[in-house]
Amino acid sequence: MSGVIPQDQPSHTPGMKQPTSPGRAPFAALDGILIRTRCLLISFDGPICSLFADMAASRVADSLRAVIAQEGARVPQAIEHTGNWLEILTYAASVSPDLAARVESELTTIESAALTTAVPTPYVNDVLTVCHDSARPVAIISNHSETAVRAYLVLHDLYGQIRFIAARTGPDSAMLKPRRDLTKLAVTGLDTLSPACALVCGSSADIQAAHAAGVHSIGHARTPRDTDDLIDAGAGAIIVSMADLALRLRAHPFG
């Protein structure tokens, strides 16, 4: 989705507090990060799109639990009711490599099927266009499968503006966020150093990964609760719309 970006005011969500200090410009923290960095890492789920917008987390989790049951493995109480697919994949890996591979394959199938109903995040096209026009390299980071991430980017004509994708390529959940592995992989893929990168992300797990990898963090908050969670996690700056990021990238085109 693209649109007219406000030229001199940050976007606001009603009821959402703005993380600014008295006497500071609304974008001071964000500007400080963009001035110090030249590469942008963007988390796929949230800042790029909502992949499972049309599918409840419980449905995804139920499908993965069904695979475990079909393989004759016990579904323990710890994951019996969770809607977190990463917890289920991690459990499967603790049982056997074969079970982990079966669960991960089912998850990839579900992710790929969700592509046509995924909801694009407003103004992400503007962010990628500004980065492309100002030669600021972009990498996408995701716990979702690389297959699904790449297919989404191609489907929405975004792939040509992405330099590197660091996403799930197998059942090894130990490499996924909040661990730093994917973030470090993205940094290496852009042939740069961690301090030169900023991660735009929408969860506390992403912020943890950014800190562990030594990159700057920009929290993308869609709700007041997101703002609180991202601030508590230690986000270096907060935006409530990708329009705000596009606006400030235009003001600092070369990082």
Place of tokens 């079966």: 102
Structural contact between residues 8 and 196, judged by C-beta atoms closer than 8 angstroms: no
pLDDT band at 127 (very low <50, low <70, confident <90, very high): very high
Structural contact between residues 99 and 71, judged by C-beta atoms closer than 8 angstroms: yes
Instruction: Write down the pLDDT at residue 26.
Output: 75
In three-state secondary structure terms, 18 is: coil
Interior/surface letters 39-51, b for 16+ CB within 10 angstroms, e for the rest: bbbbbbbbbbbbb
CA-to-CA separations, 112 to 15, 51, 84, in angstroms, rounded: 35, 9, 18
Instruction: Write down the pLDDT at residue 242.
Output: 98
CA-to-CA separations, 222 to 9, 16, 33, 157, 208, in angstroms, rounded: 17, 9, 20, 24, 19
- The pairing of strands 197-201 and 216-220 is parallel
Beta-bridge mates of residue 197:
39
Answer yes or no: pTM beyond 0.85: yes
Q: Encode pLDDT of 129-150 as tens digits.
A: 999 999 999 999 999 999 999 9
More confident residue, 51 or 21: 51
What are the domain boundaries of the chain? 28-51+118-251, 57-116
**CA atoms of 228 and 35, how far apart (whole Å):** 25
Q: Encode pLDDT of 198-227 as tens digits.
A: 999 999 999 999 999 999 999 999 999 999
Average pLDDT over residues 2-23: 43
pLDDT band at 253 (very low <50, low <70, confident <90, very high): confident
Please list the alpha-helical segments (H only) found in 56-95. Answer: 57-70, 77-80, 85-95
Average pLDDT over residues 44-73: 96
| Relative orientation angle of helices 97-113 and 57-70, to the nearest 10 degrees | 140
* CA angle, 237 then 84 then 99, to 5°: 130
Instruction: Write down the pLDDT at residue 100.
Output: 98
Q: What is the 3-state secondary structure (H, E, C) of 48-65?
A: CEECCCCCCHHHHHHHHH
- Is 91 a residue whose pLDDT tops 70? yes
What tokens appear for 23 in the block?
């006497």
pLDDT band at 20 (very low <50, low <70, confident <90, very high): very low
Structural contact between residues 159 and 150, judged by C-beta atoms closer than 8 angstroms: yes
**What letter represents residue 103's amino acid?**
V
To the question of domain 28-51+118-251 being in CATH 3.30.70.120, the answer is: no
